[in-house]
Structure 1
Amino acid sequence: MLRFTNFLDQVGVPTVKWMERSPLSPALLNHPEGLLPIVQASALIEQIARAEGIDTLGLIVGQRTQAHNLGDYGLLLSRSLTLYDLLLTLERTINLLNSGERVRLTWQSDAVWLQSHLYAIAKNDAPQSHYFSLMTHLSMIRMALGHQWKPPAVQIAIKPNQAIAMLTDLEGVHVQYDALYNSIKIPKALLNVPLAFHHQTANLPSPNDNQLYTSAPASDLVESLRQFIAALLPQGYPDIALAAEAAGLSIRSLQRRLAASGLNYGAVVEQVRFKLAVQYLQDPTLKLTHIAAELGYTDAANFTRAFKRWTGLSPRAYRLISRG
């Protein structure tokens, strides 16, 4: 999301105002390694692209995306030695970046297809997300093959349109539209090509592996719901309707799934708030008013009452005891 908002800010689009009208708070952009609900983020990008008349938004942002723009995940990719190594890393670890996308390699006698499935997003309702996925993966491949390299063929999971036909990066490339996946064909003879700058990775900061894996999208419903709630708490109490939409469920289905785990939505919100509160209270520089706001409370008094209900202690008393 940050890649899109940075570009839109550069061209004078009021992204903060757009986000304020959506379920996504601008405060989410202050946490570049944090998680965003892909359904809501994609819908917002499509809305902005249509309203601002930027039909190629996803293509432009994807073209401009390099490994270093992807934070710790990008640094992980940068440690790959060859194109083959990079492709295997993408296939194995994409879930660390995006829970709504799956990447797989399909092998042929003389080529391999890098295939991306944005299964959480409807094919023709979100062209910008498909554009971005295709061009970002092409940018990653070019880490080894150079910025001018073009694949012999690509497939894209949207209907034919002028945006792709006019794209210089795909000039002369065979394009198949309305495919099952966004795919890029790579000749096998190129797989042993080293990344252009892999010898320079000693000068790059090491990825924060602990943060990368702990912030990765969860695979089970309850944990992914906790992550969603944590991302939206700074905006206030997360609406269950938004949570259900992000999970691809109706509200009643979400409640039934939680009940099967012995939980309800309110209890999950309380769990997330408590875990984050304990984490924030370890930092003596954070004021209680700031912690309360990060947890979605309207004021510190409400946070204090909730924390006493959880622990029998005020936040201040807990902070003093935890310091030893």
Structure 2
Amino acid sequence: MALVHRKDVAFFSELFKTLDHDMYALFRESRIPNDLHDTEKKYDYLPEKALKNLIQILGSQTTPDQFGLLVWSVCHDVYIPRLIQNLTQTTNLKSALDECCELLQQTSTGSQVKTELRRGKWWIVREKPFSDDLWFQYAEMFSVIFIHELLTVLTAGKWQATEVALQSYNAELFQAFSPLKNKQLYTARAVMAVAIPDALMLGPLSLPRHISPTRRHLPDATEDTFLSVFKVAIKPYLSMGKLSIKWAADILGLNVRTLQRRLEKEGAVYSDIIEEMVFEQIIELICHSDLSLTEIAGKMGYSDSAHFTRAFKRQMKMTPSQYRKVNKR
């Protein structure tokens, strides 16, 4: 199950403001929590499916030219500068790209990006499981534009696109991006890849060195069990009320039986896991916040405080007010 960083989903959603889109309707359609932009909500990652939904909706509401321009503006103004500010390896283009690939892996677990020498040519390669769904084509276009802009900046404009390999079958969408017009685009390939001449790949860079700020690392859960990743992915949705397994499976891009089977394989039951996670958050709020019990009940999706009190007492053998009195710090 792939995860993406919350900040990337939030920033991508900002593109819809240029289309005068109803943001709450967008979040509902994309299966994104309504509190995405609320900095007080403490979660860092969302299922990759949320970003896939956003990309597909954006693509469906714009022309290929508009989509390409919006994506380019995001890459040029935000993503590329933010990535380059983290660079410490600037001996040559290859060392810089290798570090960029490492940094990109820390923001998403759904694909692998790397430099590779294939048949005597250097390429920057993106490996991602292919899908016939429309979102995949738009997501691949985003990746091509991102890499195009990254190479342009890192070489001070010396690099020009000559050969691009695409996993998608149709090159028309990509040719709407003006730098790719009349370029050699190979379709239906196993990976997406962009060719880089040896002279540029191994040549020196003139970029200034930057002190690397604290980097964002995906939690260890992403390299551990399905259950651990499931908890990270589903945490942002716990305050949305009763979270049925059907709704959770849809959020994660799985079918219900697959989700049940993956959890059962690790000895877990969906309803038990959700109840446990909800109560962990409730106890955290009771002990470490100044919110009233009524506010906590509403925040965690309970319809009224009486229902909340009954559920809490059934689980903890005391009322929320009694628990707060004993454990408040």
Indicate yes or no: 2:70 matched with 1:65: no
1:34-60 per-residue CA deviation (whole Å, 9 max, x = no partner) reads 32322343234323432x243356533
- Residues 145-224 of structure 1: matches in 2 within 5 Å? 145-146=155-156, 149-191=159-201, 192-194=203-205, 196=207, 198-199=208-209, 201-202=210-211, 206-207=213-214, 209=216, 212-214=217-219, 217=222, 220-224=225-229
Task: Name which of 12, 27, 50 aligns with 2:20.
Answer: 12
Does the Cα contact within 8 Å between 1:116 and 1:182 map onto a contact in 2? yes
1:184-209 per-residue CA deviation (whole Å, 9 max, x = no partner) reads 2222333454473x43x34x8x2354
Deviates more, 1:299-308 or 1:111-120: 299-308
What amino acid is aligned across from residue 10 of structure 1 in structure 2?
T
In the other structure, the counterpart of 2:64 is: 55
What amino acid is aligned across from residue 233 of structure 2 in structure 1?
F
Deviates more, 1:258-267 or 1:89-98: 89-98
Question: In the TM superposition, what is the alpha-carbon distance from 1:259 to its structure 2 partner?
Answer: 1.9
* Cα distance in 1, alignment partners of residues 135 and 300 from structure 2: 33
Greater Rg over alpha carbons, structure:
2
Residues 88 and 242 (structure 1 numbering): CA distance in 2 closer, same or farther, change over 3 Å? farther
What amino acid is aligned across from residue 207 of structure 1 in structure 2?
T
Percent identity, aligned pairs only, is 19
Deviates more, 1:97-106 or 1:33-42: 33-42
Deviates more, 1:78-87 or 1:301-310: 301-310
Question: In the TM superposition, what is the alpha-carbon distance from 1:246 to its structure 2 partner?
Answer: 5.1
Indicate yes or no: 2:117 matched with 1:117: no
- Residues 1-324 of structure 1: matches in 2 within 5 Å? 1-30=9-38, 34-50=44-60, 52-56=61-65, 58-66=67-75, 69=78, 74=82, 78-82=86-90, 83-108=93-118, 110-119=120-129, 121-122=131-132, 124=134, 126-146=136-156, 149-191=159-201, 192-194=203-205, 196=207, 198-199=208-209, 201-202=210-211, 206-207=213-214, 209=216, 212-214=217-219, 217=222, 220-245=225-250, 247=252, 249-281=254-286, 283-312=288-317, 314-315=319-320, 318=323, 321-322=326-327, 324=329
1:4-49 per-residue CA deviation (whole Å, 9 max, x = no partner) reads 3212202323333232344333322436973232234323432343
Question: In the TM superposition, what is the alpha-carbon distance from 1:284 to its structure 2 partner?
Answer: 3.0
Question: In the TM superposition, what is the alpha-carbon distance from 1:216 to its structure 2 partner?
Answer: 7.6
What amino acid is aligned across from residue 65 of structure 1 in structure 2?
V
Question: In the TM superposition, what is the alpha-carbon distance from 1:148 to its structure 2 partner?
Answer: 7.0
Gaps of 5+ in 2: 1-8
* Cα distance in 1, alignment partners of residues 85 and 294 from structure 2: 39
Gaps of 5+ in 1: none
Deviates more, 1:298-307 or 1:224-233: 298-307
Q: TM-score, normalised by structure 1?
A: 0.78
Does the Cα contact within 8 Å between 1:97 and 1:216 map onto a contact in 2? no
Deviates more, 1:230-239 or 1:312-321: 312-321
Does the Cα contact within 8 Å between 2:89 and 2:99 map onto a contact in 1? no
Does the Cα contact within 8 Å between 2:52 and 2:135 map onto a contact in 1? no
Question: In the TM superposition, what is the alpha-carbon distance from 1:303 to its structure 2 partner?
Answer: 4.2
Residues 105 and 246 (structure 1 numbering): CA distance in 2 closer, same or farther, change over 3 Å? farther
1:165-192 per-residue CA deviation (whole Å, 9 max, x = no partner) reads 2322324532212222222222233345
In the other structure, the counterpart of 2:5 is: none
Q: TM-score, normalised by structure 2?
A: 0.77
* Cα distance in 2, alignment partners of residues 186 and 280 from structure 1: 52
Question: In the TM superposition, what is the alpha-carbon distance from 1:125 to its structure 2 partner?
Answer: 5.2
RMSD, aligned CA: 3.6
Question: In the TM superposition, what is the alpha-carbon distance from 1:263 to its structure 2 partner?
Answer: 1.2
Q: Give SS of 1:27's match.
A: coil
What is the aligned length?
A: 316
